[in-house]
Amino acid sequence: MKNLLIVLLTLFLLSNVSFSQTVENTVFIDTVSISIGNIKEELVKVNENIYIIQPYGMAGNTGVYISNDGVILVDDQWSMLADRIKELILTITDKEIKAIINTHYHFDHTNGNLAFGMENISIISQENALVRMSQRQVMPTFFNVVQEAYPENAQPSMTFLEKLILHEQDETIELIHLKNAHTDGDLIVYFKNANIYHTGDIFITYGLPHIDELAGGDIYGIIEAVDYLLQNSDEGTKFIPGHGPLSTKKEVQEYRDHLAGLLTIVEELTNEEMSINDIIAQVKVRMDYNHYSGNDFIKQVHRSVQKKPKE
Ligand SMILES: [Zn+2]
């Protein structure tokens, strides 16, 4: 959490000082990338052919799978980190990158497409994530960041709706779409033989997640997606989160409990027709609440509760 906050603060200072492009409170991706050069990357071995390139700063974890005929990446961070990512991969294999999977459209997981896409590497995503990458996106729930439409060669060239299975020589890789969770185009990647998930931003370790409401994100969808992970795993399953270190099922369960605990309080008080300000105050009395957006996250959860059809 601390690392993320430091980078976010750096990002804000930079954006205030040096950007003529800054309009009102909007942060442009070009602005953000200036602070990216300082990100430290660590290569973490998960098993014989799966690694994580784990950044310390505002970028998502890159999963690295080494197959018999090439490397598959899960998320590719920032274009200005592409050379560093390649250097790290070269320390473990001399095989070429043959495909990149984007877990969702967000810039801190897909901006690397702008570099890797120039090299004719196949990029795979869920269909909704492609739609978002092909159009300008504004993220009011994330500091009003604007993500411009990606050029065609940086957009995924292969998409799917529900599930895609990649059959590698020693591994079966399942790409599974989980609906309206962090966004409307999330996929999780399951390395079946290795029993390892890359969860994208459905599961992160810096506390409470980001719900990209304007892009179809929803608290109920996130909890359902986390339930999918819990129901389709065992004690030996390893989880590569969207951000943060390699985790266990126990940690995913704790994250689920934390989220569900918050939701239960907001649901209960919404049913009592309590005002949003009183709900915010009550949440802070009843649980250990901390979110980078301050009270906005509770307001988002409250909106999800209000939108949910009554049973
Ligand atoms: Zn994200």
Model confidence pLDDT, tens digit, residues 114-128? 999 999 899 999 999
- The predicted model gives 99-108 an average pLDDT of 97
Q: How far is the CA of 242 from the centre of ligand 1 (A)?
A: 8
For residues 157 and 123, give the distance between their C-alpha atoms in angstroms, rounded to a whole number.
6
Give the model confidence (pLDDT) of 181-201 as tens digits.
999 999 999 999 999 999 999
Q: How far is the CA of 169 from the centre of ligand 1 (A)?
A: 31
Q: How far is the CA of 125 from the centre of ligand 1 (A)?
A: 14
Q: How far is the CA of 257 from the centre of ligand 1 (A)?
A: 21
- Cα 47 to chain centroid, rounded: 22
Q: How far is the CA of 170 from the centre of ligand 1 (A)?
A: 30
For residues 25 and 23, give the distance between their C-alpha atoms in angstroms, rounded to a whole number.
6
Give the model confidence (pLDDT) of 13-65 as tens digits.
333 222 223 444 555 555 555 566 678 889 999 999 999 999 988 899 999 99
Q: How far is the CA of 188 from the centre of ligand 1 (A)?
A: 12
Q: How far is the CA of 177 from the centre of ligand 1 (A)?
A: 15
- The predicted model gives 285-310 an average pLDDT of 91
Per the CB < 8 A criterion, the answer to whether 292 and 208 are in contact is no
Q: How far is the CA of 287 from the centre of ligand 1 (A)?
A: 25
Tell me, yes or no, whether 260 lies in a domain: no
Tell me, yes or no, whether 275 lies in a domain: no
Give the model confidence (pLDDT) of 206-256 as tens digits.
999 999 999 999 999 999 999 999 999 999 999 999 999 999 999 999 999
Q: 29: part of which helix (H) or strand (E)?
A: helix 29-33
Tell me, yes or no, whether 297 lies in a domain: no
Give the model confidence (pLDDT) of 68-78 as tens digits.
999 999 999 99
Tell me, yes or no, whether 174 lies in a domain: yes
Q: How far is the CA of 202 from the centre of ligand 1 (A)?
A: 8
Q: How far is the CA of 68 from the centre of ligand 1 (A)?
A: 30
Q: How far is the CA of 54 from the centre of ligand 1 (A)?
A: 15
For residues 109 and 87, give the distance between their C-alpha atoms in angstroms, rounded to a whole number.
18
Q: How far is the CA of 271 from the centre of ligand 1 (A)?
A: 30
Domain encompassing residue 153: 2-250
Per-residue DSSP letter, 35: T
For residues 232 and 193, give the distance between their C-alpha atoms in angstroms, rounded to a whole number.
13
Determine the pLDDT at residue 205.
95
Per the CB < 8 A criterion, the answer to whether 139 and 145 are in contact is yes
Q: How far is the CA of 175 from the centre of ligand 1 (A)?
A: 17
- The structure tokens listed for 55 are 């950044």
Residue the block writes with tokens 């877990």: 103
For residues 114 and 149, give the distance between their C-alpha atoms in angstroms, rounded to a whole number.
11
Determine the pLDDT at residue 309.
79
- The structure tokens listed for 137 are 């996106």
Tell me, yes or no, whether 285 lies in a domain: no
Q: How far is the CA of 101 from the centre of ligand 1 (A)?
A: 14
Nearest CA to 18 out of 107, 27, 139, 106 is that of 27
Q: How far is the CA of 20 from the centre of ligand 1 (A)?
A: 26
Q: How far is the CA of 133 from the centre of ligand 1 (A)?
A: 13
Per the CB < 8 A criterion, the answer to whether 187 and 126 are in contact is yes
Is pTM beyond 0.85? Reply is: yes
Q: How far is the CA of 130 from the centre of ligand 1 (A)?
A: 14
Judge whether residue 11 has pLDDT over 80. Answer: no
Q: How far is the CA of 291 from the centre of ligand 1 (A)?
A: 15
Tell me, yes or no, whether 6 lies in a domain: yes
Q: How far is the CA of 276 from the centre of ligand 1 (A)?
A: 26
| CATH code for the domain in which residue 155 is found | 3.60.15.10
Q: How far is the CA of 212 from the centre of ligand 1 (A)?
A: 8
Tell me, yes or no, whether 291 lies in a domain: no
Q: How far is the CA of 274 from the centre of ligand 1 (A)?
A: 31
Q: Where are the alpha helices (DSSP H) in 164-218?
A: none
Q: How far is the CA of 82 from the centre of ligand 1 (A)?
A: 19
Average pLDDT, the chain: 89
Tell me, yes or no, whether 158 lies in a domain: yes
Q: How far is the CA of 182 from the centre of ligand 1 (A)?
A: 7
- The predicted model gives 130-156 an average pLDDT of 93
Per the CB < 8 A criterion, the answer to whether 38 and 24 are in contact is no
What's the structural domain count of the chain? 1
